[in-house]
């Protein structure tokens, strides 16, 4: 009995040869394996399951599928420090496309996923009221706020006024987790601190002049 | 002894029968005592045996199965209390303890119930993915991972391999779990399809067509295409029959996932398949028959 191969694989430089899922030479029942990329991120075995990239028509299957996608997207973004996803971008993020099985999450599916994540506070459209560009909250703005606040206190910077740039790109913040945090997320993080009475925003003229004082 | 007539014969008869009675009483009480003694002895030996081989019974599925067979031949239900007789000697009482039966002494009571709970846990938690159909291999793999989280680390140190060996779960164990679940009427059932076993965890019967598809899927790593079906299922199914069965697996049963990009890679299709006359666009994967290694 001969059955066509479940996969055709194409090698690219990103994956070590040992990690390529069952290609042309393996047996028919070769299991789907997790794949590790060159930056040490391990994609789960379901990522090599071709239907994973088609949103499922059965509602209960779909809800579970979206749950898996949400978790994977967050984990991957955190590992690679990805803060933003643009659905219309030509450059598709690695997580949304599995080249070895030639499957990708198509833009309408990606949109559905990101809207689902937004509902759960794991992403947010930015700018608001559109559904193509999203911020990914692998840490919630509150958590970023706490992290920044602790860092400010630890470094005795609470008396001085800081610019947004100094916080995310300054010499002092090179080693912090919020290094190169995009301004929209930083703004939301600081707003959460303002709400809790821990900071005060000082509006300047345009993006450059914005500053903050921690209380 | 002369059998005489008269009144004295009557009284003699009474005396005889009294003597006989006494004798028979003493004999039967001696028998009973012997029996009780040997029963106690047997029980003690059985318990001693099970304690001595506790490790084997717990860890070796073949041994466990034989021990269970032995118990069932003897009419002993290892789950029931064996210390109900109050006459059990104080020596045994310490061992029998709260009276949870032989299994309890071995911790097998625990073993089976624990296994059953783990089985249900896995069936329920994967139901959204596989529609309540799971292959026996996958089930056992997941149970073992649940019991031994360190297997996940894929370390091959000898100690861990040993540990892995110790908790080998067999189909017999799974069958007993299903028996335990039977009174709950929750529909757990083991189905043999081709050479493989699948457990269904919601009350449903796999119909003949589905069994045929599942059998085919189990040799194609879960993937079913119309072409594959028409090539391998004889006599040939009509296109409508194929389509209807695939839609049923996908929509009604939730056993299957669809891969629409097998046909068009770049075009998004929004199909809901609630209309049964709709033609399936893409490959169908029976997830219970797909082998994942994670």
What is the ipTM for the molecules in this complex? 0.75
Q: What is the pLDDT of residues A4-26, one digit of tens each?
A: 344 333 333 333 333 333 333 33
The predicted model gives A125-154 an average pLDDT of 87
Residues B166 and B192 in one domain: yes
Chain B CB contacts of A21 under 8 Å are none
Task: Label residue B102 by pLDDT band (50, 70, 90).
Answer: low
| Predicted local distance difference test score (pLDDT) of residue B155 | 44
CB contact under 8 A, A50 and B283: yes
Exposed e or buried b per residue across A151-177, where buried means at least 16 C-beta atoms within 10 angstroms of its C-beta: bbeeeebeeeebbbebbbeeeebeebe
Q: What is the pLDDT of residues A94-134, one digit of tens each?
A: 999 999 998 999 999 999 999 999 999 899 998 888 888 99
Q: Looking at A53-57, B60-64, B232-236, which range is the least confident one? A: B60-64
What topology is assigned to A17-136 in CATH?
A: Arc Repressor Mutant, subunit A (1.10.10)
Task: Label residue B271 by pLDDT band (50, 70, 90).
Answer: low
Task: Classify domain A141-214 by CATH architecture.
Answer: Orthogonal Bundle (1.10)
Instruction: Please check whether residue A56 touches B, CB under 8 A.
Output: yes
| Predicted local distance difference test score (pLDDT) of residue B103 | 60
Tell me how far apart the alpha carbons of residues A119 and A78 are, in angstroms, rounded to a whole number: 19
| Predicted local distance difference test score (pLDDT) of residue A43 | 94
Q: What is the pLDDT of residues B103-127, one digit of tens each?
A: 666 655 667 788 888 888 888 888 8
Q: Which residue of A has its CA nearest to B287?
A: A49
Question: Is B3 among the domain residues?
Answer: no
Distance from chain centroid for Cα B92? 31
Name the minimum distance, in Å, from the CA of A129 to any CA of chain B. Answer: 24
CB contact under 8 A, A60 and B128: yes
Question: Is B38 among the domain residues?
Answer: yes
Number of domains in chain B: 3
Domain end, chosen from B205, B224, B251, is at B205
CB contact under 8 A, B257 and A64: no
Question: Is B85 among the domain residues?
Answer: no
Instruction: Please check whether residue A26 touches B, CB under 8 A.
Output: no
Residues B155 and B172 in one domain: yes
Question: Is B145 among the domain residues?
Answer: yes
Query: From residue A130, how far is each of A84, A86, A127 by CA, in Å?
Result: 14, 11, 7
Question: Is B180 among the domain residues?
Answer: yes
CB atoms within 10 A of CB A10: 11
Give the global pTM: 0.67
CB atoms within 10 A of CB A183: 14
Instruction: Please check whether residue A51 touches B, CB under 8 A.
Output: yes
List the domain boundaries for chain A: 17-136, 141-214
CB contact under 8 A, A51 and B251: no
Q: Which residue of B has its CA nearest to A33?
A: B293
Residues B109 and B194 in one domain: yes
Range of the domain at B229: 206-294
Domain end, chosen from B205, B235, B253, is at B205
Q: Which of A61, A67, A69 to mutate to test the interface with B (most CBs of B within 10 A)?
A: A61
Chain A CB contacts of B228 under 8 Å are 3-4
Name the minimum distance, in Å, from the CA of B181 to any CA of chain A. Answer: 25
Tell me how far apart the alpha carbons of residues B224 and A123 are, in angstroms, rounded to a whole number: 36
Domain end, chosen from B205, B239, B259, is at B205
* Chain mean pLDDT for chain A: 80
Beta strands in chain B (DSSP E): 133-135, 189-193, 196-200, 223-224, 256-259, 283-286
């Amino acid at each position: 009995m001969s059955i066509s191969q479940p996969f055709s694989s194409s090698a690219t430089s990103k994956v070590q040869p040992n990690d390529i899922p069952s290609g042309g030479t393996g047996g028919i029942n070769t299991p789907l394996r997790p794949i590790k990329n060159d930056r040490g991120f391990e994609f789960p075995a379901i990522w090599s399951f071709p239907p994973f990239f088609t949103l499922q028509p059965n509602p209960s299957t779909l809800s579970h599928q979206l749950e898996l996608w949400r978790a994977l997207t967050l984990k991957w973004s955190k590992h690679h420090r990805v803060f933003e996803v643009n659905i219309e971008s030509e450059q598709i993020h690695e997580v949304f496309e599995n080249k070895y099985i030639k499957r990708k999450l198509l833009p309408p599916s990606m949109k559905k996923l990101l809207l689902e994540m937004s509902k759960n506070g794991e992403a947010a459209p930015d700018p608001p009221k559109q559904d193509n560009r999203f911020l990914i909250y692998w840490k919630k703005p509150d958590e970023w706020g706490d992290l920044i606040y602790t860092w400010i206190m630890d470094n005795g910077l609470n008396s001085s006024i800081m610019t947004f740039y100094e916080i995310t790109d300054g010499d002092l913040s090179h080693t912090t987790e919020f290094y190169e945090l995009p301004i929209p997320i930083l703004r939301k993080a600081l707003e959460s601190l303002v709400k809790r009475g821990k900071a005060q925003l000082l509006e300047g003229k345009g993006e450059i002049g914005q500053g903050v004082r921690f209380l | 002894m002369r059998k005489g007539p008269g009144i004295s014969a009557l009284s003699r008869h009474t005396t005889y029968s009294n003597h006989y009675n006494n004798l028979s009483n003493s004999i039967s009480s001696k028998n009973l005592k012997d029996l009780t003694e040997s029963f106690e002895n047997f029980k003690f030996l059985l318990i001693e045996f099970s304690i001595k081989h506790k490790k084997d019974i717990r860890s070796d599925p073949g041994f466990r199965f034989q021990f269970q067979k032995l118990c069932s031949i003897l009419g002993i239900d290892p789950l029931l209390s064996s210390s109900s007789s109050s006459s059990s000697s104080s020596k045994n009482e310490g061992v029998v303890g709260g009276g949870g039966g032989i299994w309890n002494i071995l911790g097998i009571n625990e073993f089976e119930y624990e296994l059953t709970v783990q089985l249900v846990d896995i069936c329920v938690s994967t139901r959204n993915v596989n529609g309540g159909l799971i292959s026996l291999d996958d089930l056992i793999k997941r149970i073992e991972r649940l019991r031994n989280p360190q297997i996940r680390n894929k370390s091959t140190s000898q100690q861990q391999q040993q540990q892995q060996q110790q908790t080998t779960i067999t189909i017999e164990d799974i069958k007993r779990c299903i028996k335990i679940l039977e009174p709950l009427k929750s529909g757990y059932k083991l189905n043999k399809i081709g050479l493989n076993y699948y457990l269904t965890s919601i009350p449903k019967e796999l119909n003949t067509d589905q069994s045929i598809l599942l059998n085919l899927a189990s040799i194609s790593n879960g993937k079913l295409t119309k072409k594959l079906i028409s090539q391998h299922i004889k006599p040939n199914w009509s296109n409508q029959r194929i389509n209807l069965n695939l839609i049923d697996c996908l929509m009604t049963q939730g056993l299957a996932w669809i891969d629409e990009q097998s046909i068009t890679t770049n075009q998004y299709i929004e199909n809901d398949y609630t209309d049964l006359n709709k033609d399936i666009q893409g490959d169908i994967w029976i997830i219970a028959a797909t082998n994942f290694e994670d």
